[in-house]
Structure formats: C-alpha cells, structure tokens
Amino acid sequence: MKMEGLYMGKCKEKIIFHIDVNSAFLSWTAADALQHGETVDIRKIAAVIGGDPLSRHGIVLAKSMLAKKYNIKTGESLFSARQKCPKLKVVAPKYDLYVRCSNAMLNILKEYTPVIQRFSIDECFLDFSNMENIYKDTMKLAYDIKDRINRELGFTVNIGIAHNKLLAKMASDFEKPDKVHTLFENEIKKKMWTLPVGDLFMVGRATEPKLHKLNINTIGELANFDINILKTVFKSHGNLIWNYANGIENSKVKPGNLTDMKSMGNSTTMAFDISDRSTAYMVLLSLCETVGMRLRNSQNLCTLVSIEIKNSDFSCYSRQRKLMHATDCTNEIVKTTYSLFDEVWKGEKLRLLGVSVSELCSNENYQISIFDNKDMEKHRALDSAIDKIRMKYGSNSVQRGMFLQSGLKPMSGGVGEDEYAEMSSRL
C-alpha cells in the first residue's frame, strides 16, 4: 500500500475524463433515422446492428437493451440471435454515418479542452488537469458535456472521471446509459475491487480462466495476489494486470487521432458462392474502398496489406505483403490485394473475402517517396474528394462504373464481420 500512496500523491492533480458512447453503432443509427423521419426508435425495441440482413451470415455488432434481455451478445451470429428473438430487427451498419457522428462529438469536445485522445471511434480521453480556474466544478462540467451531446446530437454517453486513464475508462463502464461516474484512488476498493476480474481492462477471455484457476475471481483478489506468482504465470502481462487492479497507470492523454491502432480491416460473407475472378475482384475492390476510407479518416498510412479467403468447404487461408512505402491510397491497396488474391486463390468457390491493412504510421509527415508513381498525389486528391462526398451524402453517392454494370452492390461503407479495428495493447 506504500506504493499506492506514492502513486496517489503523484497523480492527485490530474483530472481525466473518459467519454464512451452508449451502444454507439445502434445509437448513431437510431438518431440518424429519427432525424430523417423514422417513427420507431430502434433503441427501444429488440434490435441489433449486424451484417447484411439478407446475407447468409453476419455477426451482432451492437444491440439494444431489449435485445440484451434475450441474452443476445455482441459478436454472436445473426442466425443465433434470431433464434433467441424471432422478431429481432436487424439493421445493416453504415461506417460513413459512424464517422460523421464520431467527428460531430469530437468537434463539441474540442470546445472544452485541446488535449483529447481519440481512443476508438466511440471513445475519447480528455485531460482537464490544471484547469481548475476554468472549470471549478468537475461533476458539473461532465454533466454539461453529457447533456449537450444528447441535446445537439441525439445520442447518450457515459463519462468516467478519475486521476488516470485506466480508472476513468473503468468508471465509464459502470451503470449505463447516460451516466457520470467517478473512480478516484480512495474509491477503488469500494467501486472496483468488488467487480469480477473479467471486468478489468486487459483481462480478456484467455486470461480470465487462468486467473480463476488461481482462485482469483474479483479485481480485489487480483490486486492483493502475490505479484511474483503472477509474473511466473503471465510474464510481463501479470505485472500489467496487477498494476491495473491496483489503479496504477501513468500514460498521458495523447492528442491526435487513432494512431495507436495495430490494424484495420473489413470482410464479408457473400450471399452466394463466388467462382470467377472478376466477381471476386469487385468484392475485393469494395472492401478496399471501405478500408482505404477508414485509413484516411484515422490519419494513418499502412505498410502491410493482407487478404483472407474462406472457401465453400470452410477452409481458410491468407496472404500478406509488405509495401515498399507507406500509403493510404485506395488504388495502391487494391493493386496489392489483387496480386495477393491471384497468388493464393486455387480456383475453388469462395464464401468469404477479407482485406486488412497493418503496420500503421501517422500521415502527418507524409512525403512523396522515390517509389511513388507520378500519379500518386492525383490519386490521393481523388480519394479525399470522394471521401468528403460520401461522408456528406452517403456511401452510395459515388460508385464505380463497374458496380453499375455488374448488378452487384458495393459494400455500404459499413462494417464487415471483422471491421472493428484492433487497438493497441496499452492505453
């Protein structure tokens, strides 16, 4: 406990907010629908956001409170969810809408502090340290922000307040929706240590059962466990989760966008088996457009492109390629994806295709490389213009001519089964 006392003294001046949109994809979809004349609020019925409702497969990406009562879980198949609730309403995702809503929230938050870290599309950390002269009442500030977002944008958020990012994030996960919670050091034992150990940030599905075998079932039991045993079992991760259980976390709120992502991607299970190269190319092109748009919106470049294939026999295989230079250009991603597909496809019928990019870096210092072709800047300018049109008028406002001729629909700009970006392993 001596260590904890030192930590409290070091961080007592810090005030960190974690803002988390309640059921983000569902809330954003509902708010947009109501603004456009829809009379049914999907947040108040059994509804989920998932893959294409007409396709054979897809997973639940977000669920309403009523859907939750049917024991429908995020990540389970739509088929399983419909078995639990036959009248379940399934709404296809729209990534371009989510980006607009996320950016609108960010623009409001920028009016309160310049120190904002966008942790994911629906989460932000805000640093209000040393701003006591501006904001004398921290709780009032949190309620003002929460209520303004609801009033102006039509969706609710939870806000966690603490002296570091970890505790602020934990606090925002307390009772939902539309709540403000604190989790300061003197509240850890009462508010956090009683929670199941699986609720602790960075204790995942693989770690939790191993902790149970050590008879560690609550966060408090983890906090008071022998750290040397944890290090023996979990290596460096044991030290990390022990620190987190004790509320120890010192990272700064890093202004900027999603530069800490490890990768991002999109995949789709087709409504019919694909057996020809040209159709596969169109599906891959559509996936690349979505990934490219997300890459540019996150202000990142990629240096590794990967594809995933699942055939009609459910066999999966993949291939990846390191790029000679970092890029966010859709055409560059498409060319690499086509080449990878040609290398790996064995001519069998295809059920699923996926594209992802990784080894990301910020685009802030982008410079034209000697390896860039002479039209690279033209392609990047075109990508930027198309992104702006789609963000304003919808993902289908600009389409490539080949989709009009083929009768196939391009991806909605929405979220595929593996869309959600992998975040870095640390705050």
**216 closest CA partner among 244, 197, 191, 190:** 197
The H or E element containing residue 152 is helix 138-153
Give one word for 46, left, alpha or beta, with left for phi > 0 and alpha for psi -120 to 50.
beta
**334 closest CA partner among 376, 291, 389:** 291
**91 closest CA partner among 56, 122, 60:** 60
Contacts of 116 (CB under 8 A, 6+ apart): 106, 109, 110, 124, 125, 126, 127, 253, 255
Q: From the centroid of its chain, how far is CA 387?
A: 19
Please report where in the chains the tokens 């501006």 appear, as a residue: 134
Contacts of 159 (CB under 8 A, 6+ apart): 17, 18, 19, 20, 142, 145, 146, 172, 179, 180, 181
Question: Is 123 an annotated catalytic residue?
Answer: yes
What DSSP letter does each residue of 63-128 carry, written as one string?
Answer: E-HHHHHTT--TTSBHHHHHHH-TT-EEE---HHHHHHHHHHHHHHHTTT-S-EEEEETTEEEEE-
Contact 231, 239 (CB under 8 A): yes
> Of the listed 123, 185, 289, 332, which one is catalytic?
123
Token couple for 367: 């410079």
**302 closest CA partner among 320, 315, 284:** 320
Q: How wide is the angle at C-alpha 368 spanned by C-alphas 363 and 372, nearest 5°?
A: 110
In 216-276, which residue ranges form alpha helices assigned H by DSSP? 219-223, 227-234, 236-245
Contact 26, 271 (CB under 8 A): no
Contacts of 136 (CB under 8 A, 6+ apart): none
HSE of 143, CA atoms in CB hemisphere, 13 A: 4
Q: Catalytic residue positions?
A: 123
